[in-house]
Amino acid sequence: MQVFLSILRKEFIQIFRDKRMLAIIILVPVVQMMVLVYAANMEVKNVDVVVVDNDLSQSSRSLANRFSGSPFFTLTGTTFNEKEAEALLKDDAADLILSIPAGFEEKLIREGNASLQLIFNAINGSAAEISAGYAQNVLLDYNAGIISETLAIERNESPGGINTVVRYWYNELLDYKHFMAPGILVILVTIIGMFLSGMNLVKEKEIGTTEQLNVTPIRKHQLIAAKLIPFWVIALFDLAFGLLIAKFLFKLPIEGSLLVLFTYAAIYLVGVLAAGLLISTFAETQQQVLFIGYFIIMIFILMGGIFTPVESMPRWAQIIDIFNPVCYFMQVIRMVLLKGSGFGDIIPQIIFSVIFGILMMAFSILKYRKRA
Q: What's the number of domains the chain is made of?
A: 2
User: pLDDT tens for residues 97-156?
Assistant: 999 999 888 888 888 788 889 999 888 777 888 888 889 888 888 887 877 776 555 555
Spatial contact of 329 and 186, defined as CB atoms under 8 Å apart: yes
Q: Above pLDDT 90, what percent of the chain?
A: 25
Q: What is the pTM of this model?
A: 0.79
Question: What is the mean pLDDT of the segment spanning 319-326?
Answer: 92
- Output the domain CATH number for residue 85: 3.40.1710.10
In a domain, 294, yes or no: yes
In a domain, 52, yes or no: yes
pLDDT, residue 263, reads 96
26 and 120 inside one domain: no
323 and 186 inside one domain: yes
User: pLDDT tens for residues 67-88?
Assistant: 988 888 988 888 888 888 888 8
In sequence order, the 6+-apart residues with CB closer than 8 A to the CB of 199 are 280, 286, 289, 290
pLDDT, residue 50, reads 92
Examine the pLDDT at 298 and tell me if it is beyond 50.
yes
320 and 184 inside one domain: yes
Which of 328, 325, 308 has the alpha carbon at shortest distance from 274?
325
Bigger pLDDT: 80 vs 161? 80
33 and 58 inside one domain: no
Residue 86: phi and psi, rounded to 5, are -65, -35
Question: How many of the other CB atoms lie within 10 Å of CB of 197?
Answer: 30
Examine the pLDDT at 40 and tell me if it is beyond 80.
no
Bigger pLDDT: 18 vs 363? 363
Spatial contact of 70 and 23, defined as CB atoms under 8 Å apart: no
In a domain, 288, yes or no: yes
In terms of residue numbers, what domain contains 180? 2-40+175-367
In a domain, 166, yes or no: no
In a domain, 120, yes or no: yes
219 and 283 inside one domain: yes
26 and 112 inside one domain: no
User: pLDDT tens for residues 199-256?
Assistant: 877 877 777 666 666 666 677 777 788 888 888 999 999 999 999 999 998 889 999 9
Tell me 338's DSSP state.
I
237 and 304 inside one domain: yes
Confidence of residue 157 (pLDDT cuts 50, 70, 90): low
Mean pLDDT of the chain: 84
In a domain, 187, yes or no: yes
Which of 99, 46, 96, 94 has the alpha carbon at shortest distance from 73?
46
Confidence of residue 372 (pLDDT cuts 50, 70, 90): very low
205 and 314 inside one domain: yes
Q: Can you state the percent helix, strand and coil of the chain, rounding each to 5?
A: 70, 5, 25
Bigger pLDDT: 314 vs 41? 314
In a domain, 340, yes or no: yes
188 and 231 inside one domain: yes
Q: Among the three residues 99, 118, 151, which one is the final residue of a domain in this structure?
A: 151
32 and 95 inside one domain: no
245 and 188 inside one domain: yes
140 and 31 inside one domain: no
pLDDT, residue 352, reads 95
In a domain, 314, yes or no: yes
User: pLDDT tens for residues 48-57?
Assistant: 999 999 988 8
Q: Among the three residues 117, 151, 185, which one is the final residue of a domain in this structure?
A: 151
